[in-house]
């Protein structure tokens, strides 16, 4: 219990300390020390707990409940103040509504509403803790260097509020640990709301009109989710008389389905499923470490985490099917849309939405195979996507553009970064790396359950292939050689990048171990049976990984036994490979641009189409239940 509580409290304390330190250098050191401690404690948690079954802690503190209520009111006041200041009355209404509902509920049943066990830890929370602890702390280290550069770039436009930035980052980590260790749903809701507020403040960090608007959009949708969450808790208490997560799962289908659906609804919004996806795309205005931490690797995972927890109850119900349908549609639409956008962060955002959709699809199906695949997806996606975000952050600072078309020749100008990006991309879609293992598992799970749902995965993953490869190709295409731009990147940015690239490969190599030690026991605990990849296939995957790793070796032969010539430019080359004689003998530069197929995969049209489908399925879900 000590480790659980300290993981929740320690980041918050470090955040508070950081709030008080004015010196940039000292703050940098504190961030690094605190991150190291968080990272190591989450690993310690693993080594201590993995042989055991789930453990529940009463963790009854006299003031905990009141303190939380107090902070909830404070947060509501803050949101209401912000809402009135920016004339966002929908925000005000939603925030007051949910807070009033919760306060009224707690006052009405004062003392009666209590949980036997407030905290718990099981294999799934350990997995999540590792994701948050390891990746979260790496991002915190990265952001020290990144934010310094960021404020150099935007010295005039953006006010330097790095202290509150650091504080929010660490407070956010606390809240994430809170979410995954809470068994009491009211506690879970409390931490859930903290992440919403952190996300709101961090999206608005730049203080521009666009940033504010996007922050409010994110806030409004997440408050809607919060409202559903509160209603879910209240309904659960009225119908079943308890508010604990483990009991919800334990009584399963014997209980009422409505609260489960309401909680899943909150999860769907948090993980940006259609029709709520636009908030996540808008959130990309935030500084890159925020996008990496909140909007791809951890916070949005809280949503799918909750739905995955409830998967066993959703299994086989029509509501579960509808949730799976929403996830599938989101995966398909977001993957298609990612083809047509050229802003690197937007592509990453859509790919994140797509992968969250895939996890929701797994959770909605809720069979043991699907849940196994879903948890795998969480792990692999967190690592690879975080790496990609951090790389794009560096590139944006050096190239002053986020457009993929401006990234050609990066293999020459920024070789290390571009190789890391390729590792990250390979991790996202290529055999034998992580996401592909998961996709294999998802396909198997789907075919056993209902092959009709496979249509989403099949078409979606073809699209995934297209947009990743064309980006990868852009990185290695060299048109006009220019000088290196990689020097002057601080080591506190290099270190997380190296660590994440190695993690992407290592996790892939050690995936059988991860599966055996953590995921299978969890699935077995919940379903009584587990699934795994057969030994033969594991060997094949390992051989493939080894072969791919041999690829860099071929560079030993670099430039040997070949004759370098100019590229073929229709026989009209002028001077070199990149210029040619055009009409009237004028020398022109060659240009190469990727396909974006906007006519077929246009953003606006597809999102509208997907949203309509998903709204219909939500309506069906509600119609069944009410």
Partner 1 sequence: MKVLILILAYLFLAPLVGGLLSGIDRKISARMQGRIGPPLLQPFYDILKLMEKETLVVRRSQNFYILFFLIFMIFTGCLFFTGGDILLVIFALTLAGIFFILAAYKASSPYSFLGAQRELLQSMSYEPIVIFSAIGMYMVTKSFYVFEIISFKTPLVYYLPGLLFCFIFILPMKLRKSPFDLAASLHAHQELVSGITTEFSGKALAMIEVAHWYENVLVMGFIYLFFAATPVIAIGMTLAIYFLVVLIDNTFARVKWQTALKSCWITAIVAGMGNIIFLFFMAR
Q: 217 or 474: whose CB is closer to partner 1? A: 474
- 465 contributes a contact to partner 1 by CB under 8 A: yes
Q: Which is nearer to partner 1, 174 or 418 (CB)?
A: 418
Closest approach of partner 1 to the CB of residue 595, in Å: 5
H or E element at residue 363: helix 344-365
Q: Is 447 in the site for partner 1 (CB under 8 A)?
A: yes
CA distance 252 to 521: 19
Q: How far apart are CA 108 and CA 117, in angstroms?
A: 22
| Strand order across the 573-574 sheet | 573-574, 576-581, 587-589
565 in contact with partner 1 (CB under 8 A):
yes
Measured over the CA atoms of residue 5, residue 383, residue 503 and residue 36, the dihedral's sign is negative
> Exactly one of 55, 64, 101, 443 binds partner 1 (CB under 8 A); which one?
443
Query: Which residues, including other chains, have CB under 8 Å from residue 238's CB and lie 6 or more apart?
Result: none
Q: Which of 128, 307, 474, 503 binds partner 1 (CB under 8 A)?
A: 474
Task: Compare residues 254 and 452 and give the one whose CB is closer to partner 1.
Answer: 452
Q: Would you count residue 551 as binding partner 1 (CB under 8 A)?
A: yes
Q: Give the residue, chosen from 107, 254, 562, 583, that forms a contact with partner 1 under the rule CB under 8 A.
A: 562
For 509, residues 6+ apart whose C-beta sits below 8 A from its C-beta are 542, 545
572 binding partner 1? (CB under 8 A): no
Query: Which residues, other chains included, contact 506 with Cβ-Cβ below 8 Å and sequence gap of 6+?
Result: none
Q: How many C-beta neighbours within 10 Å does residue 563 have?
A: 4
The number of C-alpha atoms within 13 Å of 516 and in the hemisphere containing its C-beta is 8
Beta-bridge partner residues of 27: none
State which residue, 69 or 454, has the beta carbon closest to partner 1: 454
Q: Which is nearer to partner 1, 20 or 536 (CB)?
A: 536
Q: Residue 411 in contact with residue 475, Cβ under 8 Å?
A: yes
Tell me if 397 sits within 8 A of 145, measured CB to CB: no
Cβ neighbours of 238 (radius 10 Å) = 12
Contact 487, 417 (CB under 8 A): no
Smallest distance, Å, CB 280 to partner 1? 24
Closest approach of Cβ 557 to partner 1, in Å?
Answer: 7
Q: Which of 160, 506, 600, 615 binds partner 1 (CB under 8 A)?
A: 600
Given the complex with partner 1, which of 238 and 600 has the nearer CB atom? 600
Judged by CB under 8 A, does residue 558 bind partner 1?
yes
Stretch that binds partner 1, among 47-55, 214-222, 301-309, 442-450 (CB under 8 A): 442-450
The answer to whether residues 11 and 173 touch, using CB atoms and an 8 Å cutoff, is: yes
The reply on whether position 536 binds partner 1 by CB under 8 A is yes
**Token digits of residue 313:** 């109850």
Q: Give backbone dihedrals phi and psi of 290, rounded to 5 degrees, phi first.
A: -65, -45
**Which segment (14-22, 189-197, 358-366, 536-544) binds partner 1 by CB under 8 A?**
536-544
Instruction: Let me know if 525 is exposed, middle or buried by CB neighbors in 10 A (0-12, 13-18, 19+).
Output: middle
Q: Which is nearer to partner 1, 240 or 479 (CB)?
A: 479
- Of the residues 470, 524, 588, 608, which one makes contact with partner 1 according to CB under 8 A: 470
Q: How many CA atoms lie within 13 A of 192 on its CB side?
A: 30
Question: For residues 348 and 356, what is the distance between their CA atoms, to the nearest angstrom?
Answer: 12
Nearer to partner 1, 470 or 485 (CB): 470
Choice between 99 and 418, CB closer to partner 1? 418
Those residues whose C-beta lies under 8 Å from the C-beta of residue 85, and which sit 6 or more positions away, are: none
Per rule CB under 8 A, count of chain residues that contact partner 1: 60
Q: Smaller CB distance to partner 1: residue 543 or 616? A: 543
Q: Between 380 and 419, how does the x/- string for binding to partner 1 read (CB under 8 A)?
A: ----------------------------------------
Stretch that binds partner 1, among 75-83, 134-142, 245-253, 563-571 (CB under 8 A): 563-571
Taking residues 475 to 504 in sequence order and writing x for each that binds partner 1 by CB under 8 A, - otherwise, the string is -xxxx-------------------------
- Judged by CB under 8 A, the residue of 5, 454, 490, 545 near partner 1 is 454
Interface with partner 1, residue 459, by CB under 8 A: yes
Residue 415 CB, shortest distance to partner 1, in Å, is: 11
| Residue 57, SS3 per DSSP | strand
Pick 148 or 605: Cβ nearer partner 1: 605
CA distance 186 to 113: 10
Both tokens assigned to 533? 């990849």
The residue ranges that bind partner 1 (CB under 8 A) are: 430-432, 436, 440, 443-444, 447, 450-452, 454-455, 458-459, 461-463, 465-466, 469-470, 472-474, 476-479, 534, 536-537, 540-541, 543-544, 547-548, 551, 554-555, 557-559, 561-570, 577, 590, 592, 594-595, 600
């Amino acid at each position: 219990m000590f480790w659980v509580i300290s993981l929740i409290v320690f980041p918050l304390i470090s955040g508070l300390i950081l709030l008080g330190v004015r010196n940039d250098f000292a703050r940098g050191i504190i961030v690094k020390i605190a991150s190291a401690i968080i990272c190591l404690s989450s690993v310690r948690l693993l080594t201590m707990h993995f042989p055991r079954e789930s453990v529940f802690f009463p963790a009854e503190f006299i003031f905990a409940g009141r303190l939380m209520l107090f902070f909830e009111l404070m947060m509501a006041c803050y949101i209401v103040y912000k809402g009135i200041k920016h004339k966002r009355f929908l925000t005000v209404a939603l925030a007051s509504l949910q807070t009033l509902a919760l306060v009224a509920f707690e006052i009405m049943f004062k003392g009666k509403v209590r949980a036997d066990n407030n905290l718990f830890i099981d294999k799934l929370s350990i997995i999540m803790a590792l994701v948050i602890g390891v990746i979260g702390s790496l991002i915190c280290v990265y952001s020290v260097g990144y934010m310094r550069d960021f404020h150099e770039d935007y010295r005039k436009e953006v006010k330097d509020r790095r202290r509150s930035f650091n504080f929010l980052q660490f407070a956010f980590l606390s809240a994430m640990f809170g979410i995954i260790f809470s068994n009491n749903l009211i506690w879970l809701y409390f931490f859930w709301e903290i992440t919403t507020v952190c996300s709101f403040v961090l999206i608005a960090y730049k203080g521009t009109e666009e940033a504010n608007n996007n922050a409010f959009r994110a806030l409004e949708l997440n408050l809607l989710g919060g409202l559903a969450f509160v209603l879910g808790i209240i309904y659960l208490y009225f119908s079943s008389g308890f508010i604990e997560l483990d009991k919800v799962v334990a009584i399963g289908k014997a209980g009422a389905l409505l609260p489960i659906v309401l909680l899943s609804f909150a999860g769907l919004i948090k993980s940006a499923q259609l029709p709520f996806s636009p908030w996540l795309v808008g959130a990309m205005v935030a500084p890159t470490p925020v996008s990496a931490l909140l909007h791809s690797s951890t916070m949005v995972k809280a949503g799918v985490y909750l739905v995955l927890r409830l998967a066993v109850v959703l299994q086989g119900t029509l509501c579960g099917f509808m949730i799976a349908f929403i996830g599938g549609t989101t995966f398909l639409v977001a993957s298609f849309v990612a083809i047509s956008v050229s802003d690197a962060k937007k592509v990453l955002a859509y790919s994140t939405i797509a992968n969250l959709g895939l996890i929701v699809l797994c959770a909605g199906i809720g069979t043991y195979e699907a849940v196994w695949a879903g948890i795998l997806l969480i792990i692999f996606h967190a690592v690879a996507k975080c790496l990609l975000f951090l790389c794009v952050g560096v590139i944006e600072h050096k190239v002053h553009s986020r457009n993929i078309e401006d990234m050609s020749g990066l293999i020459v100008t920024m070789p290390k970064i571009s190789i890391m990006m390729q590792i990250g991309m390979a991790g996202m879609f290529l055999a034998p790396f992580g996401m592909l293992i998961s996709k294999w598992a998802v396909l198997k799970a789907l075919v056993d359950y209902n092959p009709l749902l496979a249509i989403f995965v099949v078409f979606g993953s073809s699209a995934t292939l297209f947009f990743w490869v064309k980006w990868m190709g852009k990185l290695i295409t060299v048109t006009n050689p220019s000088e290196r731009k990689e020097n002057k990147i601080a080591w506190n940015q290099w270190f997380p990048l190296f660590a994440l690239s190695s993690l992407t490969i290592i996790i892939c190599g050690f995936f059988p171990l991860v599966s055996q030690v953590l995921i299978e026991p969890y699935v077995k605990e919940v379903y009584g049976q587990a699934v795994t990849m057969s030994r033969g296939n594991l060997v094949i995957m390992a051989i493939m990984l080894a072969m791919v790793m041999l690829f860099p070796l071929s560079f030993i032969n670099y430039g040997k036994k070949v004759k370098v010539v100019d590229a073929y430019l229709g026989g009209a080359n002028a001077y070199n490979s990149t210029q040619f004689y055009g009409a009237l003998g004028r020398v022109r530069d060659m240009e190469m641009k990727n396909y974006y197929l906007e006519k077929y995969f246009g953003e606006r049209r597809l999102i509208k189409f997907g949203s309509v489908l998903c709204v219909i399925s939500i309506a069906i879900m509600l119609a069944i239940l009410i």
